[in-house]
Amino acid sequence: MSTLPFPDESSAPILRLVNVGKMYATGSVEVEALRGVSMEVARGEYVAIMGPSGSGKSTLMHILGCLDVPTSGSYDLAGEDVSTMDEDALAHVRNRQIGFVFQQFNLLASLSAWRNVELPLCYSGVGRAERKKRAVKALERVGLGDRLDHRPGELSGGQQQRVAVARALVTDPALILADEPTGNLDSHSTADVLRLFAELHDQGRTIVLITHEHDVAESAQRTVRIFDGAIATDAQMDSTPASFASAR
Amino acid sequence: MNWGETVRTALEAIRSRRMRSSLTMLGILIGIAAVMLTVGLGQGAQAQVRSQINQLGSNLLIVSPGSTTTTTGIRGGRGSASTLTTRDATALASPVVAPDIARVAPVVTGSQSLTAGSTNWTTTVVGTTPDWLAVRARSMTEGRFFTTAELNDAASVVVLGSTTASQLFVAQDALGQAVNINGTNMTVIGILNTAGSSTTTDDDDQALVPQTTYSSRIASSGNASGISTLYIQANSTDSLSAAYQETQKTLLATHGVTVAASDFTISSQESLLSTATATDQTLTVLLAGIAAISLLVGGIGVMNIMLVSVTERIREIGLRKALGATPRVVRRQFLVEASTLGLVGGVLGIGLGLLGAQVLPHFLNQPVTIPPVAGIGALGVALIIGIAAGVYPASRAARLAPIDALRSE
């Protein structure tokens, strides 16, 4: 738990990584996937994390998403030190603070769109009627208000990813963490999903997007490049698009 | 996630894999039905034997003559010696000698041809005393049983079983008619109520005469006081063992022998029952064992399917964990799924068992009695099998690391 006082919550960073390291033991060989990563992400920021495969960006994403814990260093998410939490506590943090968007969409094929979206709320003990209301609202927000009862198989790839975004939004999380969200989409759907992220950013959402595509990374405000398990560059975009400029 | 949600999720998972779930349940269903039916058949057979033995009367001790040992050392079977006499019966009937004995009915039997007019019928003729009626717990439909006076006079009276009466007197009332047994004309003074037949004897097909009449007019040999069986009724169930002791002591004394050389055998209804049901029980245990193995195989089927299910749904598990499911919630989901398979299979199995209990007796000529507790027990067993089969797969699912689960293709 961070002891630093936060007099003005909005100015405090949502994410703060201090010297985070991650070692994997594969057989007798130890692989250092992350070596001393330190970064902060402020509330409302839209950050792209880039890096070639093997750079450690997936490991960083797992740690940011509380799916894994660092072997050294500390990680504060929304004012809580999550680097020392146990599995149950991490599950709660994931449930309340993080909205995931995956490359594979990861929707449950047997459930309709709104049932997929309400899933995180089931695990936080929200009542049934309230869950449905919030799921419908989230689906309307991503423009799928007319596809509530469609199953994933009856939706296009872009629509499925928007359902996944709605699922990420439904808990009103501190952070939306998107792992290659456009990796399985055609250019039209990619533009669609990126426009949605831009809109969410305009509304003050904090978004961290992991990608290896430059044009996807360009939609973000700030790009962090990972190389060999460490941060190589961390740059604000020079030319912020008009829509962002108006919002900030 | 509360229990209601968990159950709903589990039911959805079962429904979405209909074919597989029903085949898995079939294993439990067949196992439970098989166990219920074998237990039911065993219980039915035992109940049948019990009712046959209870039909003999209540609080009964049955004394049969013991085996003889010839001078050359060859032992005859039970009953080969005719060591019991009417004196034994008289001694035992004394309230001083045997206070715990209520009534004694000595019985001597033989197969005889009965003739009424032009009709004849071969049946068992029983020579006994008036106490027979009470000891054997029988009653009369018509007329009366013979009296002590008739016993003392060796009167020519006969009481017929209902089957015997209807065989001899087809279209007319048997009461008051004459029946010829071994050259002696006897008057029918009563007809016994029906008792039902057992597998070995037909209690409705017999003719009863006073023991004195039997020995003087019907028996071929001269042993006037010899009897084949003593039926002894104790005062109550509680005094049965005292009556046993008194019978043994009295008979040893009257026969002048020691326990080791005793020439008679005393059996109680319980000992008859345990002898008669011992074979049945062995068979029931054997069959129930086979049925239990089939239930175990059904349980292994549930476990197998749950393991396959966990492997297949690794991504789903990973996603649920990423979305905030704790290991406990994941474990619970799979446990509920497995126990639902067990429980539903169990309920259907009980249904099939009850149906079988209705249908089987028509083919087997054997009653099937399923005790209600067996149904509840079967349900519990099915549930426990489901839970036990689910523990390992569920804890495997719970232990999955979310990143590994999400990454798998």
Which of the residues in chain B have pLDDT under 50? Answer: 79-80, 199
User: Considering the domain boundaries, does residue B161 fall inside one?
Assistant: yes
Measured between beta carbons, which residues in chain A are less than 8 angstroms from residue B406?
67, 102, 106
- pLDDT of B228: 85
User: Considering the domain boundaries, does residue B364 fall inside one?
Assistant: yes
Distances (CA, A) of B79 to B82, B83, B203, B266, B267: 7, 9, 21, 12, 13
Same domain for B289 and B360? yes
Contact yes or no for A84/A152 (Cβ under 8 A): no
- pLDDT of A237: 74
B219-247 burial, b at 16+ Cβ within 10 Å, e below that, comes to: beeeeebbbbbbbbbbeeeebbebbbebb
Measured between beta carbons, which residues in chain A are less than 8 angstroms from residue B324?
91-92, 94-96, 120, 123-124
- B-contacting residues in A 170-189 (Cβ below 8 Å): none
Same domain for B288 and B234? no
- pLDDT of B394: 93
Contact yes or no for B295/B385 (Cβ under 8 A): yes
Same domain for B244 and B167? yes
Measured between beta carbons, which residues in chain B are less than 8 angstroms from residue A167?
323
Measured between beta carbons, which residues in chain B are less than 8 angstroms from residue A88?
326-328
Residue of B nearest to A105 (CA): B319
Could you tell me the residue ranges of all domains in chain A?
A: 9-236
CATH 3.40.50.1010 describes domain A9-236: no
- pLDDT of A248: 38
* ipTM of the complex, rounded to two decimals: 0.88
User: Considering the domain boundaries, does residue B202 fall inside one?
Assistant: yes
Distances (CA, A) of A181 to A80, B339, B403: 27, 38, 16
pLDDT in tens, A18-34: 999 999 887 788 888 89
pLDDT in tens, A185-219: 899 999 989 999 999 999 999 999 998 888 888 88
Final residue of a structural domain among B217, B232, B262: B262
User: Considering the domain boundaries, does residue B199 fall inside one?
Assistant: yes
pLDDT above 60: residue A8: no
Q: How far is B329 from chain A (nearest CA, A)?
A: 9
Q: pLDDT tier at A244 (50, 70, 90 boundaries)?
A: very low
- pLDDT of A53: 83
| Residue to test with chain A: of B313, B321, B323, most A Cβ within 10 A | B323
| Extended strands (E) in B217-273 | 229-234, 264-268
- Whole-prediction pTM value? 0.71
- B-contacting residues in A 96-135 (Cβ below 8 Å): 96, 100, 102, 104, 106, 108, 110-111, 119-120, 122-125
Same domain for B109 and B13? no
Q: How far is B404 from chain A (nearest CA, A)?
A: 10
Same domain for B247 and B152? yes
Distances (CA, A) of B262 to A84, B81, B120, B256: 86, 12, 41, 9
Final residue of a structural domain among B262, B292, B314: B262
User: Considering the domain boundaries, does residue B292 fall inside one?
Assistant: yes
- Across the interface, of A67, A88, A110, the residue whose CB is closest to B12 is A110
CA distance B265 to A28: 82
Same domain for B293 and B256? no
Final residue of a structural domain among B233, B262, B291: B262
Q: Which of B91, B117, B127 is nearest to B174 (CA)?
A: B117
- pLDDT of B345: 93
pLDDT in tens, B98-111: 888 888 999 988 88
Same domain for B131 and B43? no
pLDDT above 80: residue A72: yes
Cross-chain Cβ contact B324/A108 below 8 Å: no
- A-contacting residues in B 269-328 (Cβ below 8 Å): 315-316, 318-328
Cross-chain Cβ contact B324/A95 below 8 Å: yes
Residue of B nearest to A124 (CA): B1
Cross-chain Cβ contact A94/B324 below 8 Å: yes
Cross-chain Cβ contact B320/A167 below 8 Å: no
Cross-chain Cβ contact A91/B316 below 8 Å: no
Same domain for B385 and B337? yes
- pLDDT of A195: 92
Q: pLDDT tier at A4 (50, 70, 90 boundaries)?
A: very low
Same domain for B252 and B281? no
User: Considering the domain boundaries, does residue B10 fall inside one?
Assistant: yes
User: Considering the domain boundaries, does residue B258 fall inside one?
Assistant: yes
Q: What percent of chain A has pLDDT over 70?
A: 91
DSSP state of A209: E
Same domain for B95 and B239? yes
Mean of all residue pLDDT scores within chain A? 87
Measured between beta carbons, which residues in chain B are less than 8 angstroms from residue A172?
none
Cα distance from N-terminal residue to C-terminal residue, chain A? 30
Q: pLDDT tier at A5 (50, 70, 90 boundaries)?
A: very low
Same domain for B248 and B138? yes
Cross-chain Cβ contact A123/B320 below 8 Å: yes
Cross-chain Cβ contact B403/A123 below 8 Å: no
A65 close to B (CB below 8 A): yes
User: Considering the domain boundaries, does residue B400 fall inside one?
Assistant: yes
B377 close to A (CB below 8 A): no
Contact yes or no for B378/B384 (Cβ under 8 A): no
- Residue the block writes with tokens 């439970």: B32
Same domain for B88 and B227? yes
Cβ neighbours of A113 (radius 10 Å): 27
Containing domain of residue B290, as a range?
A: 3-52+277-407
Measured between beta carbons, which residues in chain A are less than 8 angstroms from residue B323?
94-95, 100, 119-120, 123, 167
Q: How far is B402 from chain A (nearest CA, A)?
A: 6
- pLDDT of A6: 44
CA distance A229 to A54: 8
Give the total number of structural domains in chain B.
2
